[in-house]
């Protein structure tokens, strides 16, 4: 990977990561407030409504976001055309899909509060999908800082609304409505920030729609399946366990969701560059893919090792004493997070090379396995069993991706740095254990130690540091 590309990717990722740290803080504050206001049972209903709708949100996306980024990266001159058509197409798909979601929700054996919450929260998912059409342009041009700004404004507005709703004691439905308000504000800010590059207009080029859908449907189906297998546990828990237990698992899922945004940011920066590299030949892309894989595994291992040590304190800080019982399940899920970080490399590579069908096949295997394991483990082991099912599924998915990549792709990924990364993570975990009760000290100390160890073990080399060094 050339130094200029490394700098662009690193800068774009750093901007998103910095913004995400603020967003994460806002999100954690929001969760801490909501869990204490709603309790485990109320937060379980809130989580169930959002997770239920997220299944339909992925279906409405149809993989259009990633395919739009790929097409704009290949044909920058068509950016105006692609963004405008994608925005209209998304709006139509979202209207149909979320209307269906609300209708089906009323037929399910959920409590009335959950059914009404689904109808209210559909607005949040709708504007989120519209916003992603604009984010595709930011990603293509490697200016994701603008997306971060829009997200931050929306989150701040949503948090302010949450505080106001709770102060006025307007109840559960008003709490759910704050998510829709934040999503709308984020979309509104994005429309203002995107005007420098394109003029938003209603575009209905049905020929382009057919082309985008033809390319996106296989990947969209894979995303639906992938989303299902990572979230079906909450749905199955809601059918076999109490809403209070769903609420505890909802906090764990929130941690998973926030942490998994980090490899997503990296992917946002890498994907357009990777598409352009592959266009000029796979040899030009292989070194880049290897560095991406090493970076994601190092990030996942650090998060998992540190999080396992600090799990009880994480649950206490985020949810309060009522949610500490989920610490064991969180420790298990952190292993799945490590695997998910690594999996990002392969899913990105397969899509960049036009092999969406392989992503669909792997995701299908993961879904079937996860459902079977959840059905077997949840009745006896509850959220711990569900967490184990997630880890087992991720192991199979990672293995399948690795084997398929070795057999089918000209770009290879080596595991040579993994032992050194794991050793560094284990040493870091041992170093922070003596003061694991002081989470605010353990996190920065652990991060500093881990960074030094990655350099000492040559996971981060002088060449990489030289590429990242600012130009004079």
Sign of CA dihedral 349, 350, 351, 353: positive
The 10s digit of each residue's pLDDT in 226-250 is 667 667 888 889 889 888 898 899 8
pTM: 0.69
pLDDT band at 464 (very low <50, low <70, confident <90, very high): low
Residue 395, helix vs strand vs coil: helix
Q: Please report the pLDDT score of residue 369 as a whole number.
A: 92
Tokens of 288: 């880049």
Burial class (CB in 10 A: 0-12, 13-18, 19+), 223: buried
Average pLDDT estimate for 8-12: 61
Q: C-alpha angle 125/126/130, rounded to 5°?
A: 115
d(CA 62, CA 221): 7
pLDDT, the chain, mean: 85
> 27-39 as b/e, with b when 16 or more CB fall inside 10 Å?
bbebbbbbbebbe
The 10s digit of each residue's pLDDT in 317-338 is 888 888 899 999 999 999 999 9
Q: Check residue 415 and report its DSSP letter.
A: -
Tokens 């709703």, located at residue: 165
> 253-262 as b/e, with b when 16 or more CB fall inside 10 Å?
bbbbebbbbb
Q: For the chain, percent helix, then strand, then coil, each to nearest 5?
A: 90, 0, 10
State the angle between helix axes of 79-107 and 112-140 in degrees (0 to 180), rounded to the nearest 10. 170
Among residues 70, 455, 128, the alpha carbon closest in space to that of 270 is found at 70
The 10s digit of each residue's pLDDT in 189-234 is 999 998 888 888 888 888 888 888 887 877 777 777 766 766 788 8
Instruction: List, in order, residues 6 or more apart from 5 with CB less than 8 Å away.
Output: 273, 277, 288
Considering only residues 130 and 69, tell me which one the structure prediction assigns the higher pLDDT: 130
Indicate the domain borders of the chain. Answer: 3-468
Q: Percentage of the chain surpassing pLDDT 70?
A: 90
């Amino acid at each position: 990977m050339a130094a200029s590309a490394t700098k662009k990717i690193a800068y774009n990722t750093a901007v998103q990561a910095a913004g995400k740290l603020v967003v994460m803080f806002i999100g954690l504050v929001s969760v801490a407030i909501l869990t204490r206001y709603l309790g485990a049972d109320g937060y379980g209903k809130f989580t169930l409504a959002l997770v239920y709708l997220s299944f339909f949100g992925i279906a409405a996306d149809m993989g259009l976001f990633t395919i739009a980024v790929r097409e704009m990266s290949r044909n920058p001159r068509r950016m105006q055309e692609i963004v405008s058509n994608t925005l209209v197409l998304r709006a139509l798909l979202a209207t149909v899909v979320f209307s269906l979601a609300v209708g089906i929700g009323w037929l399910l054996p959920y409590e009335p509060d959950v059914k009404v919450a689904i109808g209210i929260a559909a607005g949040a998912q709708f504007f989120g999908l519209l916003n992603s059409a604009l984010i595709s342009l930011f990603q293509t041009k490697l200016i994701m800082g603008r997306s971060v700004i829009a997200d931050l404004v929306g989150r701040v507005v949503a948090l302010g609304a949450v505080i106001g709703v709770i102060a006025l004691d307007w109840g559960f439905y008003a709490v759910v409505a704050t998510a829709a308000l934040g999503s709308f504000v984020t979309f509104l800010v994005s429309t203002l920030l995107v005007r420098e590059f394109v003029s938003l207009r209603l575009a209905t080029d049905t020929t382009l729609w057919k082309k985008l859908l033809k390319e996106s449907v296989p990947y969209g189906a894979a995303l639906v399946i992938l989303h299902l297998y990572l979230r079906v546990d909450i749905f199955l828990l809601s059918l076999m366990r109490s809403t209070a237990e769903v609420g505890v698992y909802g906090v764990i899922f929130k941690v998973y969701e926030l942490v998994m945004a980090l490899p997503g940011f990296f992917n946002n920066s890498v994907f357009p560059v990777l598409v352009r590299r592959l266009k000029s030949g796979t040899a030009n892309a292989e070194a880049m893919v290897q560095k991406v894989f090493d970076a994601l595994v190092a990030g996942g291992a650090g998060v998992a090792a540190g999080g396992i040590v600090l799990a009880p304190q994480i649950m206490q800080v985020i949810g309060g004493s009522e949610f500490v019982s989920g610490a064991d399940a969180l420790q298990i899920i952190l292993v799945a997070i490590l695997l998910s970080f690594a999996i990002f490399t392969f899913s990105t590579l397969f899509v960049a090379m036009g092999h969406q069908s392989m992503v669909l096949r792997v995701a299908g295997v993961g879904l079937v396995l996860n459902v079977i394991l959840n059905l077997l483990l949840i009745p006896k082991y509850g959220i711990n069993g569900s967490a184990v099912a997630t880890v087992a599924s991720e192991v199979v998915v990672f293995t399948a991706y690795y084997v398929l990549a070795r057999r089918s792709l000209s770009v290879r990924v080596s595991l040579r740095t993994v032992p050194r990364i794991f050793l560094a993570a284990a040493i870091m975990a041992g170093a922070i254990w003596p003061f694991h009760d002081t989470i605010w000290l353990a996190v920065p100390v652990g991060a500093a130690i881990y960074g030094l160890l990655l350099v000492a073990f040559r996971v981060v080399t002088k060449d990489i540091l030289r590429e990242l060094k600012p130009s004079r």
